[in-house]
Amino acid sequence: MKNSIMKNYDKSTTSDLLIKGEGLEVYIGEIAEETWKEEKIGPTPEPNVTALREWDFKLLKRYPPFYSPVCDLCCLCTTGKCDLSKGRKGACGIDIKTQQARVSLLTSCMGTSAHAGHARHLLEHLIEKYGPTHPIDLGLNIEVEAPLIRLVLGIRPKKLIDLRKPVDYVEKQLIHLMSATNIGQEKSHLDFESKALHAGMLDLIALEVADIAQIVSLKMPKADPEAPLVDFGLGTVDTSKPVVLCIGHNVLPAASVAEYLEKTGLNDRVEICGVCCTAQDIARINPKAKVIGSLARQLYAVKSGIADVIIVDEQCVRTDTMEEAQKIKSVVIATNDKICMGLPNRTDDDPDKTVEELVNGVIPGALILDPEVVGEVAVKAALRLSDQRAQFKKLIKKEELIELAKKCTECQMCNRACPNNLPVYEGMRLAKEGYLEKLAEIYELCIGCGRCEVECKTKLPIISMLSKAGEKSFKDEKYKLRCGRGPIQDVEIRNVGRPIVFGEIPGVIAFAGCPNYPKSGKELVEIAEEFLKRRYIIVATGCSAMSLAMHKDEEGKTIYEKYPGNFDAGGIVNLGSCVTNSHAAGAAVKIASIFARRPLRANYEVISDYILNRIGAVGIVWGIMAQKAFAITTGLNRLGIPIIFGPYGSRFRRLFLGRKDLPENWEIYDYRTKEKMLGEPAPEHLSCVVETKEEAIVMAARLCIRPNDTAIGRKIKLSHYIDLSKKYLGETPSDLDLYVRSENDIPITIKEEVLQFLSAKGWKPRKIPLDPTILDPAKLHPSLLRPE
Amino acid sequence: MEDRVVPWQIGNIAYSTHAKVLYPPEMARVINRAKRPLIVVGSGLTEKLELNLFDYVIELSKTRNLPVVASGNTYKEFIARNFKPVAILGILELINLIKDQNWRGFDGKGQYDVLILLGIFPLLANQALFAAKHFASIITISIDQHYEPNATFSFSNSTVEEWKENLNELCANLKK
């Protein structure tokens, strides 16, 4: 009954429910939140575009936007193109700086829209399938089920339907933000950035909705530190069986395949595997599913020909998937309104008829918008296609590769097309002589964009040639990934809250982002392991979490097999797909709320201020390609969490760089004494770009320093910072004097050496704020800091 | 010749202002005229150790006592060669300082007027130069192997051998 009612839910309405029956229409207004009486509503429930502007401006004063455009021009209206170089203004009066900020907002909105669309689609389907009153139960150890929703909207969702309100809110706000990017609207680069920060905050809300909805409905692990280790890598797929490959981010179609296999007892006869975040999420549902890898492996996986059926859902799906699938006679099923691929809509057709059309080549693929139908069609088609496609499941032969290489005209366009400047042409030259080692090396480093193939004048199948050259790695790609566990338990937060806030656990380092690394993903493992050995907490999500699994030590173990999966010193936590980035942010919010007992409900500024000044958390986004990653990082920035990007981060045009050489920029209040004093550049940047892993490691140690560190905590953090700086950059950090507040902060084992350094710098001890804040104490009501 | 003054990386185009290609003697003249030149180097130096670019930068620096900023992972290699760069700093952090006319430089004597770049990861160098072009009052010179459109002056695209010749000729033309 509930399902039939929900089928009639008019999705065009927002916060109100509209129930339609025969001859009946009933509106039910928004139901007031009566149940949360323990905590008073804070100052900013459902903040509108300008509600947190003051907070944003505080951040932007400390961390002014730094712009590196990717173009001199603005091409967004018909009067242009306008040249904005050399101080010129466009036809609308915009200058280059404001234009960059405008694009920053656009980018943030694009990313947030992708996640909000994902959340809406997932939520409505799950409400329809499991009912609006399906409980939000994240397990025994989680009471603060939705820290971000509580923080921003001031509500506690208890049932699936309660998640509609956050999505409604995100959608409404997005319209206002996007409208500001139209010609003639916002004028100030700082206001554009404030709006971009707002979009980032919304993004994290959308992510939280999506992951909570899928965890509670699809039986994913509930904050389980011992979530199963799953097979990972292209080499784990049994290509002798029919193969269904799922690509994208929305797990519903893949879940439908898993469900159909279970229902029909075909689990052992058909391989289900995935690329990108759908893969992470299907493994959370069905640990037998094979996770092929990150976005960087998408083109390789498709071109390898192993897939009989390719299911695409949404986000991060290559635009040429259909074209590539046709080359290897795979069929494609598009499953989401965001990606229809021009395919005929077979949603309401008889599944068997659709299978027939696909197998006989009547249609190259189908659009099937009902996930429940996708499973049946995909499995039936894969079973029929597998044998007839056997010839396409093989790599090219070595002799073929050499013959192809001989066609190379050595024009070097492949090198020039490669974003990472990989020496493809040099590899081809050697391959002509039968030496494939160089191409094998390139396979390891390749980010799988395929631009080399596009530019190749002789149309060589470079990706397939690289796969053959890297055959050993290709076939040996068999690893173990700890599948996504979802959120952090409240009890884990209680255990680590104190040592994190006092600095005794030196930091929490979160790996997120896309796999377009400047070098191999192995660097990610090296960075993570350096910090794991030093008892930092490592958190990973999305493609980064997958890349971390792609390397084994001498004993053949991946990082997930070597280190525990709990949120504690020396643990590595794979939260799951991109949507679980919300739990990384949520963990920081929970520390403020559960450990420090800061009122959480609609109390955004106070909680963010707490995180900025006390929680030594930093994100490393070593690759970044999708606008979604920009939205996520911008959302983390608004919460006071700094981000370190790899080189590709510079291409999103905007950073938030602090200036440690300007002491006046680091003024801070002590809430206890209400005194304003000179602080320290901690954290120095809110977002920055580094070129190498060595710089990233040292920067991460530095950005974990916080004004609230106790002397013991600061000693620990500085001892790592100094040691890592010496190890990776070759010298004691030149800014050490800025982070030593008193002699008590100096690590004992190197005290003499540090004192000498400080003496040369003319260092003097300075006051330490007991209760550091960048909010004006005069405006802070005590009830915002302590529960009444 | 046409290929020598197009951006090396495909798609790295659509700018209204492009770097002027200079031959080494002309480039040397620009550096010789500079009052406060600065060199910044990046990870390309450690990746191409066989080209002895560290030794080259040290030689370049010694011609006019030019300060060197070690970006990327280069500092250790300089120290191993008994040469001390003026700072360890990321390229974008450096540009952030350079775009501030009130910044007093690493020696407290004032802002720099010419920035010479070598070996920064190309995509990042491009973005750094974009930022400098729009927001800083400084002449930027790329002495990398490939044409860099966002610098004020750049070498043209060249083979490794030609590039090494260019580098040597540049050094030879700098005032001692």
**Cβ count within 10 A of residue A403:** 13
Q: Which domain holds residue B32?
A: 19-173
Is residue B13 a part of any domain in this protein? no
- Pick from A636, A622, A613: nearest CA to A695: A622
Q: What totals of helices (H) and strands (E) does chain A contain, helices first?
A: 30, 23
Q: Indicate the residue of A84, A417, A690 with minimum beta-carbon distance to B90.
A: A690
Q: In chain B, which ranges are E strands?
A: 20-21, 37-41, 68-70, 87-88, 114-118, 139-142, 153-154
Q: How many CA atoms lie within 13 A of A658 on its CB side?
A: 25
Query: What does DSSP say about strands A654-656 and A572-576: parallel, antiparallel, or unpaired?
Result: unpaired
Comparing CA positions, the residue from A150, A250, A196 lying closest to residue A49 is A196
Q: Give the amino acid at A12.
A: S
A191 within 8 A of A68, measured Cβ to Cβ:
no
Domain A231-388 has CATH 3.20.20.70: no
Q: Could you say which of B96, B121, B130 has the minimum Cβ distance to residue A647? A: B121
Pairing mode, if any, of strands A65-67 and A654-656? antiparallel
Q: For A627-678, how does the pLDDT look when each residue is reduced to its tens digit (9 = 90+)? A: 999 999 999 999 999 999 999 999 999 999 999 999 999 999 999 999 999 9
Strand partners, A79: none
How far is the C-alpha of B1 from the C-alpha of B10, rounded, in Å? 17
Q: How far apart, in whole angstroms, are the C-alpha atoms of residue A417 and residue A499?
A: 48
| Nearest CB to A691 within list B16, B42, B134 | B42
Say if B119 falls within a structural domain: yes
Q: Residues of chain A whose C-beta is under 8 A from some C-beta in B?
A: 66-73, 83-86, 96-97, 413, 416-417, 419, 421, 451, 455, 518, 647-648, 650-651, 655, 657, 659, 661, 688-695, 699, 728-731, 734
**A249 vs A254: CA distance, rounded Å:** 10
User: What is the longest distance spanned by two Cα atoms in chain A?
Assistant: 86
Query: DSSP character for A502?
Result: T
pLDDT at position B11 is: 79
Q: How many residues in total does chain A contain?
A: 788
Angle between helices B53-64 and B160-173 (to 10 degrees): 20
Token pair for residue A346? 């077979």
CB pairs under 8 A between A and B: 114
What number of CA atoms fall less than 13 Å from residue A637's CA on the CB side?
38
The verdict on a CB contact (< 8 Å) between B10 and A451 is: yes
The helix/strand/coil state of A538 is strand
Cβ within 8 Å, pair A729-B73 = yes
Residue listed under structure tokens 């892993």: A693
Contact B135 A690 (CB under 8 A): no
Quick one: A359 exposed, middle or buried, by C-beta within 10 A (0-12, 13-18, 19+)? middle
Set of chain B residues whose Cβ sits within 8 Å of the Cβ of A85:
15-17, 133-134
Residue B12 lies in a domain: no
Residue A728's closest CA among A756, A693, A753, A702?
A693
Residues of chain A with C-beta less than 8 angstroms from the C-beta of B72: 691-692, 694-695
Domain residue spans of chain A:
1-30, 36-218, 231-388, 398-476, 482-773
In eight-state DSSP terms, residue B50 is G
Q: What is the pLDDT of residue B6?
A: 83
Number of domains in chain B: 1
Which spans in A219-320 are helix H?
252-264, 277-285, 298-303
User: Which chain B residues contact residue A688 at CB under 8 A?
Assistant: 90, 92-93
Contact between B86 and B67 (Cβ < 8 Å): yes
Q: Is B75 exposed, middle or buried (0-12, 13-18, 19+ CB in 10 A)?
A: buried
A294 vs B40, higher pLDDT: B40
Does any domain span residue B68?
yes
Mean pLDDT per block of 10 residues along chain A (788 residues) reads 38 49 60 71 97 98 97 92 93 97 98 98 96 95 96 97 98 98 96 98 98 97 96 91 97 96 94 94 92 91 95 96 95 97 98 98 97 96 94 91 96 94 95 96 93 95 94 83 96 95 94 92 96 98 95 94 97 97 98 95 98 98 96 98 97 97 96 95 98 98 97 97 98 98 97 97 95 95 86
The answer to whether residue B77 is domain-embedded is yes
Q: What is the helix (H) or strand (E) element at residue A403, kind and residue range? A: helix A398-406
Specify if B10 maps to a domain.
no
Residue A477's pLDDT is what?
79
Residues sharing a CB contact under 8 Å with residue A722, sequence separation 6 or more, in sequence order: A732, A733, A736, A747, A750, A754
Least CB–CB distance from A85: residue in B16, B103, B128: B16
Cβ A57 vs Cβ A190: under 8 Å: yes
pLDDT of residue B7: 84
Which residues on adjacent β-strands are paired with residue A332?
Answer: A310, A365
Two structure tokens written together for A174? 């997005």
* d(C-alpha B60, C-alpha B64), whole Å: 8
Contact check, Cβ <8 Å, B134/A67? yes
CA A30/CA A657 separation, integer angstroms: 43
Q: Is the pLDDT of residue B59 over 90?
A: yes
Quick one: tokens of A774? 């960048």
The answer to whether domain A36-218 has CATH 3.30.70.330 is no
Q: What is the mean pLDDT of residues B139-148?
A: 96
- Give the tokens for residue A103: 């694009």
Nearest CA in chain A to B129: A68
Q: Please judge whether B91 and A691 are an interchain contact, meaning their C-beta atoms are less than 8 angstroms apart.
A: yes
Which of B14, B15, B96 comes nearest A66 by C-beta? B96
Residue type present at position B74 = T
Contacts of A420 (CB under 8 A, 6+ apart): A445, A447, A516, A518, A519
CATH code at position B70:
3.40.50.1220
Torsion angle of alpha carbons A474, A479, A483, A484, nearest 10°? -70
Q: DSSP letters of A157-169?
A: --BGGGGHHHHHH
> What confidence score (pLDDT) does residue A189 get?
98
What's A463-499 look like in SS3?
HHHHHHHCHHHHHHCCEEEECCCCCCCHHHHHHHHHH
> Rounded to 5 degrees, what are φ and ψ at B139?
-85, 130
Nearest CB among A67, A647, A659 relative to B131 is that of: A67
Position A328, amino acid = I
pLDDT value of residue A29: 53
- Name the CATH architecture for the domain at A482-773: 3-Layer(aba) Sandwich (3.40)
